[in-house]
């Protein structure tokens, strides 16, 4: 296929992907998206620039340079958006700290007002999302154009660089949301394209420098990162003097004139902003406002910043929502594979360059590669400095350097001997974006299913508990019988609203383990925070809510975990469902068995916490159970003190693991330790007393047969040992 047609196809696919993200991602479910919107809305409504000193919804974005927001305000000014703040429903329980929360992913509750056809603020927001999509298209064109400057005889490399960025999930998601990053990335790419154009010119004309300075000034008016472009431009011009021209060709006055021509538009167009920031905030860049609004300078060291690098690295490729929606791990594997393959190509380039004559290798210094790499370094250093002051662990903040990164990837991949690998990389990149668009994002914000009462499965445990007035918990069930610590435990709850609810109730879910320990909990609106009960239909409609809890790594196992639900300040907690939490792997079967109890249980070890005591002491008896078959019944352990043929002097009857793991849930292959506490009578006379135990059926009270080496024991008990009671 002709490279121009291929480029057109890639750009068309990019627009479709970006439009897809802008439609499937609910409004304001991208980092700070609502603040960007409200900054533009403030300008459209008042005709004035906001400040971060005012108490309004723009928050820290009010301290940003205004170019993007002026452009956005012009887009939405003709629309009647009404009182936007009153129309939004913030989710007070949103979890933006967890990398993959199981509930409360959404920063806002989304109603039918966001449905098609759009109007009011919804239409305005989607127009601004579309604007960012077009800005991303501009970035891709500058990537392609820069590639043509670098490789005039290899247009496919320029197309490959464009494709890799067009199919980068984070890039398309970013440009399907409202933010000023899209304009900054576009202007940064435009500046680099102009610098490449200048680099290959034999003569730099004044209009080239004025245009370059204008682009940099616009970038500064978009975000203060644009200041770095001025540093880079001066660096490139100085390098151009000494590497593209003999030093005698340009007089000192000419060089000074060139620098002045570059800086003149920067001063005229963006100089006022520094004065405004100094007057308002006491900081010409207004950086202090971001630090203040984030809670002050956290004074991180580079080592502390490094601890957040895993999140930054992943968000270079694909992290959605409020940095809390992630794709499957294979998506990251694809992109890391692309980076590694490109790096391998880079190593091959270096290896070949060492075999070339020194004169050939020195031409590297006359190439734009060093200063393109320097631009990446400038952006990285500035971001690290910002990160040391305030949280900014998002890969998108490195995207102003996306053009040289894209070119480096394409160049590295093209050095591999296989012609298939570069385009296979592009196809795999596209698959990651398609997966994110059609599966990851829609599933993250999907509302619960609605069924009828007749469709409730027979496996569900019917409850019909009134959790609040008009709110019924109809049934519940565990979706899996067995799970492990740190593994997601799925449950399904079936709800019904019998009458319209005046206020959205919240529900608290708690998963309990041994000794009432809370293994995990959730607190928020129904539907994982997405579907408050005030939005539900009434009558026979059943809301099917799937919830996921994750038992803590320190969960004592095995245990029968119990899910309880409650509506705060409305009533008691209601048991919903139970399920087993067991170790990821059981200990290997014991080499020897002390006794057999019934047909399914073996005793492999027993011990007393102490063999001497005084009257009134508590003695722990530890028993190790080994299960060879499913017991299929509830059994109770009994511990007796004294002659087994006489009435016990002291005893304790208890369910295994204090009732937290009944025997009817035991399964073959399990092996675990159980502890019982026997309290000696306060008036027990000194002497030596035997201790024995056994199991009996809860319903019949009949003891299970107990044998040692095949011989059934008297009274079906096993002797643990003796306790000597001292005076």
pLDDT digits (tens, 9 = 90+) for 481-519: 999 999 999 999 999 999 988 899 999 999 999 999 999
What does the pLDDT look like over 433-481, one tens digit per residue? 999 999 999 999 999 999 999 999 999 999 999 999 999 999 999 999 9
pLDDT, position 403? 98
Residue 359 has pLDDT above 60, yes or no: no
pLDDT, position 357? 55
Phi then psi for 99, rounded to 5 degrees? -70, -25
Residue 345 lies in a domain: yes
Close Cβ partners of 52 (under 8 Å, ≥ 6 residues apart): 58, 59, 60, 62, 63, 281, 286, 289, 293
The token duo for 26 is 């609910």
Residue that finishes a domain, picked among 446, 466, 482: 446
List the CATH number of the domain containing 609. 2.60.40.2550
Residue 355 lies in a domain: yes
Residue 547 has pLDDT above 60, yes or no: yes
Residue 525 has pLDDT above 70, yes or no: yes
Residue 253: pLDDT band (50, 70, 90) is confident
Q: Is the domain of 615 the same as that of 674?
A: yes
pLDDT, position 241? 84
Q: Is the domain of 442 the same as that of 466?
A: no
What does the pLDDT look like over 663-676, one tens digit per residue? 999 999 999 999 99
Residue 115 lies in a domain: no
Average pLDDT, the chain: 93
Residue 81 lies in a domain: no
pLDDT, position 320? 96
Residue 193: pLDDT band (50, 70, 90) is very high
Residue that finishes a domain, picked among 429, 446, 463: 446
CA distance 162 to 423: 12
What does the pLDDT look like over 390-439, one tens digit per residue? 988 999 999 999 999 999 999 999 988 778 888 899 999 999 999 999 99
Residue 350: pLDDT band (50, 70, 90) is confident
pLDDT, position 54? 84
Residue 246: pLDDT band (50, 70, 90) is low
* Interstrand relation of 482-483 and 574-581 (parallel, antiparallel or unpaired): parallel
Q: Is the domain of 538 the same as that of 665?
A: no
Q: Is the domain of 482 the same as that of 557?
A: yes
Residue 360 has pLDDT above 50, yes or no: no
333's torsion region: left (phi>0), alpha (psi -120 to 50) or beta?
A: alpha
What does the pLDDT look like over 16-74, one tens digit per residue? 999 999 999 999 999 999 999 999 999 999 999 999 888 778 888 999 999 999 999 99
Q: Is the domain of 256 the same as that of 304?
A: no
Structural domain of 403: 137-178+298-446
- Between 539 and 689, residue with greater pLDDT: 689
pLDDT, position 255? 87
Residue 247 has pLDDT above 60, yes or no: no
Q: Is the domain of 142 the same as that of 200?
A: no
CA distance 389 to 387: 5
Burial readout 444-463 (b: 16 or more C-beta within 10 A, e: otherwise) = bbeebeeeeeeebeeebeeb
In a 13 Å sphere around the CA of 440, the CA atoms on its Cβ side amount to: 24
464's torsion region: left (phi>0), alpha (psi -120 to 50) or beta?
A: left
Q: Is the domain of 409 the same as that of 347?
A: yes
Close Cβ partners of 415 (under 8 Å, ≥ 6 residues apart): 345, 346, 348, 349
Q: Is the domain of 174 the same as that of 307?
A: yes
Q: Is the domain of 554 the same as that of 507?
A: yes
Cβ(375)–Cβ(404) under 8 Å? yes
The token duo for 716 is 């079906």
CA distance 51 to 55: 9
Q: Is the domain of 574 the same as that of 611?
A: no
Number of independent structural domains in the chain: 4
Phi then psi for 519, rounded to 5 degrees? -85, -35
CA distance 474 to 465: 6
State the average pLDDT over residues 244-269.
82
Residue 145 lies in a domain: yes
Q: Is the domain of 400 the same as that of 489?
A: no
Residue 337 lies in a domain: yes
DSSP structure class, residue 93: T
- The fraction of the chain above a pLDDT of 70, given in percent, is 97
Q: Is the domain of 603 the same as that of 715?
A: yes
Rounded (5°) CA angle 325-473-536: 60
What does the pLDDT look like over 102-149, one tens digit per residue? 899 999 999 999 999 999 999 999 999 999 999 999 999 999 999 999
Question: Nearest CA to 659 among 553, 578, 594, 576?
Answer: 578
Question: Nearest CA to 527 among 506, 497, 503?
Answer: 506
Residue that finishes a domain, picked among 400, 419, 446: 446
The token duo for 130 is 């579309």
In a 13 Å sphere around the CA of 549, the CA atoms on its Cβ side amount to: 30
Residue 353 lies in a domain: yes
**H/E element, 279:** helix 252-281
Residue 263 lies in a domain: yes
């Amino acid at each position: 296929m002709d490279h121009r047609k291929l480029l057109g196809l890639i750009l068309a696919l990019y627009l479709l992907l970006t439009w897809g993200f802008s439609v499937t991602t609910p409004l304001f479910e991208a980092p700070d998206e609502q603040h960007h919107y409200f900054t533009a809305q403030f300008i459209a409504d008042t005709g004035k620039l906001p400040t971060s000193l005012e108490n309004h919804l723009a928050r820290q974005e009010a301290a940003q340079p205004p170019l993007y927001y002026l452009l956005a305000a012009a887009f939405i000014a003709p629309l009647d958006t009404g009182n936007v703040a009153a129309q939004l429903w913030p989710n007070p329980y949103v979890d933006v700290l967890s990398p993959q929360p199981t509930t409360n992913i959404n920063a806002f509750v989304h109603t039918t007002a966001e449905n098609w056809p759009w109007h009011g603020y919804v239409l305005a927001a989607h127009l601004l999302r579309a604007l960012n999509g077009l800005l991303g298209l501009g970035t891709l064109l500058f990537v392609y154009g820069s590639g043509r400057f670098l490789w005039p005889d290899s247009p496919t490399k320029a197309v490959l660089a464009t494709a890799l960025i067009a199919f980068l999930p984070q890039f398309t998601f970013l440009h399907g949301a409202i933010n000023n990053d899209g304009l900054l990335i576009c202007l940064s790419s435009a500046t680099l394209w102009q610098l490449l154009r200048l680099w290959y010119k034999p003569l730099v004309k004044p209009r080239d420098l004025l245009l370059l300075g204008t682009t940099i000034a616009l970038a500064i008016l978009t975000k203060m990162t644009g200041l770095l472009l001025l540093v880079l431009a001066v660096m490139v011009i100085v390098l151009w003097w000494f590497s593209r021209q003999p030093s005698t060709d340009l007089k000192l006055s000419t060089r000074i004139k060139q620098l002045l021509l570059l800086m003149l538009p920067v001063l005229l167009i963006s100089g006022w902003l520094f004065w405004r920031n100094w007057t308002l905030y006491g900081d010409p860049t207004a950086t202090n406002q971001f630090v203040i609004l984030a809670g002050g300078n956290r004074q991180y060291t580079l080592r502390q910043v490094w601890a957040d690098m895993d999140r930054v690295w992943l968000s270079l490729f694909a992290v959605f929502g409020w940095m809390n929606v992630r794709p499957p791990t294979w998506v990251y594997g694809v992109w890391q594979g692309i980076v590694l393959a490109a790096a391998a190509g880079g190593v091959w380039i270096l290896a070949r360059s060492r075999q070339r004559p020194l004169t050939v290798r020195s031409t590297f210094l006359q190439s734009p590669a060093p200063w393109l790499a320097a631009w990446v370094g400038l952006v990285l250093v500035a971001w690290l400095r910002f990160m040391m002051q305030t949280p900014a662990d998002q890969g998108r903040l490195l995207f102003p350097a996306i053009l040289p990164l894209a070119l480096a990837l394409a160049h590295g991949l093209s050095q591999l001997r296989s012609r298939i690998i570069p385009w296979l990389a592009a196809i795999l990149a596209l698959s990651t974006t398609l997966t994110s668009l059609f599966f990851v994002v829609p599933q993250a914000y999907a509302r619960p299913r609605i069924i009828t009462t007749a469709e409730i499965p027979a496996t569900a445990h019917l409850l019909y508990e009134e959790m609040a007035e008009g709110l019924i918990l109809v049934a519940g069930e565990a979706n899996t019988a067995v799970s492990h610590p740190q593994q997601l435990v799925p449950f399904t709850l079936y709800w019904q609203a019998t009458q319209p609810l005046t206020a959205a109730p919240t529900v608290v879910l708690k998963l309990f383990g041994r000794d009432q320990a809370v293994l995990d909990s959730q607190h928020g609106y129904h539907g994982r925070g997405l579907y408050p009960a005030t939005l539900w239909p009434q009558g026979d409609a059943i809301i099917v809510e799937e919830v996921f809890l994750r038992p803590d790594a320190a969960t004592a196992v095995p245990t029968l975990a119990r899910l309880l639900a409650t509506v705060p300040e409305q009533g008691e907690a209601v048991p919903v469902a139970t399920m087993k939490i067991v170790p990821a792997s059981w200990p290997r079967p014991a080499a020897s068995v002390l006794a057999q109890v019934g047909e399914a249980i073996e005793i492999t070890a027993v011990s007393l916490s102490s063999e001497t005591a005084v009257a009134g002491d508590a003695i722990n008896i530890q028993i190790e159970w080994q299960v060879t078959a499913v017991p299929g019944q509830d059994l109770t352990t009994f511990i007796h003190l004294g002659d087994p043929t006489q009435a016990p002097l002291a005893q304790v009857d208890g369910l295994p693991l204090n009732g937290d793991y009944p025997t009817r849930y035991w399964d073959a292959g399990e092996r675990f330790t159980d502890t019982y506490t026997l309290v000696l009578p306060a008036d027990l006379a000194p002497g030596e007393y035997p201790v024995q135990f056994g199991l009996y059926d809860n319903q019949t009270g009949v003891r299970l047969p107990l044998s040692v080496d095949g011989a059934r024991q008297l009274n079906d008990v096993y002797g643990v040992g003796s306790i000597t009671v001292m005076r």
